[in-house]
Amino acid sequence: MHFLPGIENHGKRIFLFDLDGTITAEESLAEIGKSFHLSPEMIDLTNQTIKGNVPFVESFIRRVEILKKIPVSSIRERMTKIALLTDIVNFIKENADICRVVTSNVDEWIGDLTNDIGCKYSASEGLVVDDKLVKVTKIFKKRGCTAL
């Protein structure tokens, strides 16, 4: 069993939920790309990564680079409107003390969404200046629950 930094389990089992495709009905970065008319490259990168043709970290960095031109506040707002799988979200809300969201998405983009879901979460982190993501400072890797 892997433990996330800062998460106390006090002997309880903790349920870890991936954000994309487990809590959301679609891949969020691809949906953001569509919303801001950046979709062809975003969708291709997402699909190639899911198929294992592009390493995750490389794909993630490239997708973040594409989205960096969009104001952080606009992405955060769009993320709160992404389609969710309600049965999963309801389970998490009812069991928030033993549920955690784990995602490689950038905290500055998904913070409002994860707060709405109602449990603790671990995500990648970035440096934001004047409502723009300047750079990713930590990439959260779900496999083994570690951060780069």
Residue 51: both structure tokens together = 């198929």
Q: What is the per-residue pLDDT across 23-80, written as a single tens digit (0 to 9) for each?
A: 999 888 888 988 998 878 888 888 898 899 999 889 889 989 999 999 999 999 999 9
pLDDT for 8: 53
Distance, in Å, from the CA atom of 60 to the CA atom of 67, rounded to the nearest integer, reads 11
- Beta strand 99-106 with 120-129: parallel, antiparallel or unpaired? parallel
Ramachandran sector of residue 144 (left: φ over 0; alpha: ψ -120 to 50; beta: rest): left
The pLDDT of 98-109, averaged and rounded, is 94
Distance, in Å, from the CA atom of 133 to the CA atom of 131, rounded to the nearest integer, reads 7
